[in-house]
Amino acid sequence: DTGVSQDPRHKITKRGQNVTFRCDPISEHNRLYWYRQTLGQGPEFLTYFQNEAQLEKSRLLSDRFSAERPKGSFSTLEIQRTEQGDSAMYLCASSLTAGGYGYTFGSGTRLTVV
């Protein structure tokens, strides 16, 4: 598989629960990005990694959010104590550092907090 994989595709959780999403990038891509897309809006940047280093985090990424990329390959995004406002599509993308924005996006994980 040469694409970006995200798991799960859909997640329904109760408010206050913790959730974790996984992203598997294209294997030779050293950059990995997380974006969030709410209904009717364009995706918004959350954070990105170059290899295992998390280089930037958006102000959208509150203390309840944490992302890791421990071996510079797959990444996880965890949301603690979920709130209804966290309901969104969480998109992962990967690229090469010098790729000229040659992003490949995954299909996303749709989170619904009830």
Partner 1 sequence: AQSVTQLDSHVSVSEGTPVLLRCNYSSSYSPSLFWYVQHPNKGLQLLLKYTSAATLVKGINGFEAEFKKSETSFHLTKPSAHMSDAAEYFCVRGNAGNMLTFGGGTRLMVKP
Chain positions contacting partner 1, by CB under 8 A: 3-4, 31, 33, 35, 40-45, 48, 55-56, 91, 93, 95, 97, 99-101, 103-108
Sign of CA dihedral 14, 40, 6, 78: negative
Helix (H, G, I), strand (E, B) or coil at 85: helix
Q: CB of residue 43 vs partner 1: minimum separation in angstroms?
A: 5
Q: Measure Cα distances from 107 to 48, 50, 82, 96 in Å.
A: 17, 21, 22, 19
Nearer CB in complex with partner 1: 17/107: 107
CB–CB of 87/93 below 8 Å?
no
What secondary structure letter does DSSP report for 84?
G
Nearer CB in complex with partner 1: 14/59: 59
Nearer CB in complex with partner 1: 80/103: 103
Q: CB of residue 81 vs partner 1: minimum separation in angstroms?
A: 27
Q: CB of residue 66 vs partner 1: minimum separation in angstroms?
A: 19
What secondary structure letter does DSSP report for 23?
E
Residue 8 preceded by cis peptide, ω within 30: yes
Nearer CB in complex with partner 1: 72/80: 72
Q: CB of residue 107 vs partner 1: minimum separation in angstroms?
A: 5
